[in-house]
Structure 1
């Protein structure tokens, strides 16, 4: 079983490697003489031109490093920048400052993030018509670019975000509220930019790659929607929303805040990597390792418990159909949601660990030989933990039984981390400098293969 567990990890890592941020940036940008080309967008370096690199996200450090590697020396001398990233992603670059905008594993806005956002706005507001603004955006960008409106404190916005996440709000609902309560999101960064041209490089962590949703669309021309934000809050947390936030949203409606004024900066947004990229690479790796891939799907959503149980049941069904020495693979990508159970007990975990623990619950009730299920966040983070996700197989289930670990008790209060820590099933990678949601790998082999 350990061989198949290692194979599952290799397949998952192949999916992550395919969306490594420096690789994606180098594939997206070309330097042709005095021109920088990205897709259909082109910018020409002039005598007094400057290049400014700004942005935010879990992949921000790698994306910024990739840009510095691509730019010719004479271009790099004219480059400056500021990118907000998690603290464990900070490294030293030559021209671009990487700012620790939040602690590792805590996907919430902070005062440090707000200060970094102000520095970004200062930089881009002072650019001119001959200048280029390169914006790097990736998952986690919403929390890393906080800029609350007048009258709303960051602490209030931070608590509201936490409440929404705990209520099971979708990424679309979260971003709807974030856009309405931000000076940057929903096109705010674009409106503030004084450069002649803005090119945004985006690694998508949202199903379907909607530009206005990824990091709440800081470079997408759009209008905030305070009425929809109010509807989300009324449904998810009507009693836990501060009066100042209700007031700020209703003031926007009363004043008919208009963000549709002409934008003088030429701009373009480019998706350079997404969940499909990762799933495709994992599929190829599985085939190379000798597994027949029977299903490969990206951009799946749903409840974490249901996804885990469904995947385990499918694996059990597929195992009954295998011929001797046959082994197959199911690969899925996307982002499930977890509704936190009410409890006063301590707990720790993430959505990927929840998926695998739910799968373990099903496998425990059957003979689990020959089945390995892994789920991990491509960013190396799974909830407020130091793990990317978890893996389960017959050997790890046997350890759980020996240790008298009751899966139901851990699962019922979303306390997955201690379970997998006890059996040795945690997947730990550290920050991967990318983020395209989650990747799941399920391997099924016949009994002779399992042995």
Structure 2
């Protein structure tokens, strides 16, 4: 059965299915609220927020207005909702201005009004409105330090929530007494609402002291104003039991698990059994690559815990502690580590990519690994272990012609990984 399989095509088909499953048009229509007695204000942020806004306009029968902010290149034309583009992952002035305008839009609402908030991954950087005393430059510096620290996405967002005038429940509190309905596309392990875009409309159970502990744990250097905000407790966020959040609703439109299930269906249709190992696998990308290589070897040698042919699927957000000067990318770092550990093991192929189309800071979603990838690299004079040590996964797979480029996908349900064993 497996002899008829084109490994690269099947891996790419699974990745495309995962991305398609997370498109907003699949989930938004069934979660649209009834028209309010007052106004409907639409706000939001994230890489999928513009696509979500367009679906909302196409399906909502009442009148509406609003503003959402998305990543540069991710805008989708809307007629009633204003779309603003800003920078990600390091915020810029456009995001700062958009965040302030969003707060201005929800000022002075009444109990008859309804705020529909469209939130997806990337919203933390796209709404970088800092607390008083913290500058945009301070926020940019903190983001850069967090991105290279090796901290998990949950830890990074804990710090961000306590420096923001809009995250950590503050946006929902600003909407009070209007009702708030939040539609979420999850890009975080565990689907915690307070971690998606740093939770602008949900209560935050963490504290300034928790944020400081993360800073100390990773040796993150903070600007003086940021350190003072955390140390003084001035950055405390809105807690889950705050009465201003009473009555707020949250609905998931797409999640990493939904994407993995869509990919599994593609594999099974091709006659390959699919096994989902987890949708929230975290850790250093190169360590996760080694572990996955060990599992693949067990399958090949002992037909345990699964018999080949099969595909092993996983999601979740790994981290990279930057030590080299390469082009980065957590998915390609995982994949390169997997390849080094497999060392050309026959019949094992893999793909890893970010479902938003951007791995790290490159406009490249990820890459594909084949049994002959290392041999082809050596022929070009590229040493795989050196590339891994230099955090240069993008450089490695780009040189082999094995990069996966999707362009803006207009959604984001975190990382996608598949190991195909034939």
Q: Is 2:157 the partner of 1:178?
A: no
Whether contact under 8 Å (2:161, 2:237) holds in the other structure is no
Task: Quote the offset at 1:220 in angstroms.
Answer: 0.8
Task: Quote the offset at 1:265 in angstroms.
Answer: 6.8
TM-score of the aligned structures, taking structure 2 as reference length: 0.92
Aligned to 2:283: 302
* Residue of structure 2 aligned with 1:363, choices 342, 346, 356: 342
Aligned to 1:206: 188
Question: Matched residue of 2:6: which SS?
Answer: helix
Q: Is 2:244 the partner of 1:263?
A: yes
Q: Is 2:381 the partner of 1:404?
A: yes
Aligned to 2:16: 13
Give, in whole Å, the separation in 2 of the partners of 1:121 and 1:14.
36
CA gap of 1:101–1:333, structure 2 versus 1, over 3 A, is: same
* Residue pairs, 1:361-400, within 5 angstroms: 361-364=340-343, 366=344, 368-400=345-377
Give, in whole Å, the separation in 1 of the partners of 2:242 and 2:291.
48
Give, in whole Å, the separation in 2 of the partners of 1:59 and 1:302.
25
Task: Quote the offset at 1:252 in angstroms.
Answer: 2.8
* Residue of structure 1 aligned with 2:48, choices 45, 48, 59: 59
Give, in whole Å, the separation in 2 of the partners of 1:207 and 1:133.
27
CA gap of 1:297–1:234, structure 2 versus 1, over 3 A, is: closer
Deviations 1:9-32 (A, max 9, x none): 101211111111222212433xxx
* Residue pairs, 1:119-198, within 5 angstroms: 119-194=101-176, 196-198=178-180
* Residue pairs, 1:23-62, within 5 angstroms: 23-29=26-32, 36=33, 43-46=34-37, 49-62=38-51
Give, in whole Å, the separation in 1 of the partners of 2:238 and 2:350.
49
Q: Is 2:328 the partner of 1:349?
A: yes
**Which consecutive unaligned segments of at least 5 residues does structure 2 have?**
none
Deviations 1:180-210 (A, max 9, x none): 1111111100011146321000111111111
Whether contact under 8 Å (2:181, 2:248) holds in the other structure is yes
Give, in whole Å, the separation in 2 of the partners of 1:197 and 1:204.
22
* Residue pairs, 1:266-285, within 5 angstroms: 266-285=247-266
Whether contact under 8 Å (2:207, 2:237) holds in the other structure is no
Q: Is 2:229 the partner of 1:248?
A: yes
CA gap of 1:82–1:394, structure 2 versus 1, over 3 A, is: same
Give, in whole Å, the separation in 2 of the partners of 1:427 and 1:300.
22
Task: Quote the offset at 1:69 in angstroms.
Answer: 1.1
Whether contact under 8 Å (1:124, 1:195) holds in the other structure is no
Whether contact under 8 Å (2:170, 2:238) holds in the other structure is no
Question: Matched residue of 2:28: which SS?
Answer: helix
Task: Quote the offset at 1:67 in angstroms.
Answer: 0.6
Task: Quote the offset at 1:111 in angstroms.
Answer: 1.2
How many residues align? The count is: 416
Task: Quote the offset at 1:93 in angstroms.
Answer: 0.6
Deviations 1:17-57 (A, max 9, x none): 1111222212433xxxxxx3xxxxxx4443xx321110101
Q: Is 2:69 the partner of 1:84?
A: yes
Give, in whole Å, the separation in 2 of the partners of 1:264 and 1:252.
21
Task: Quote the offset at 1:264 in angstroms.
Answer: 7.4
Give, in whole Å, the separation in 1 of the partners of 2:242 and 2:377.
61
Give, in whole Å, the separation in 2 of the partners of 1:269 and 1:258.
16
Give, in whole Å, the separation in 2 of the partners of 1:269 and 1:45.
17
CA gap of 1:378–1:233, structure 2 versus 1, over 3 A, is: same
CA gap of 1:250–1:18, structure 2 versus 1, over 3 A, is: same
* Residue pairs, 1:106-117, within 5 angstroms: 106-117=88-99
Task: Quote the offset at 1:241 in angstroms.
Answer: 1.2
What CA RMSD, in Å, does the superposition of the two structures yield over aligned residues?
Answer: 2.3
Whether contact under 8 Å (2:168, 2:238) holds in the other structure is no
Q: Is 2:293 the partner of 1:312?
A: yes
* Residue of structure 2 aligned with 1:228, choices 170, 187, 210: 210
Give, in whole Å, the separation in 1 of the partners of 2:308 and 2:209.
55
Question: Matched residue of 1:181: which SS?
Answer: coil
Aligned to 1:218: 200
421-430 or 325-334, which moves further after superposition? 325-334
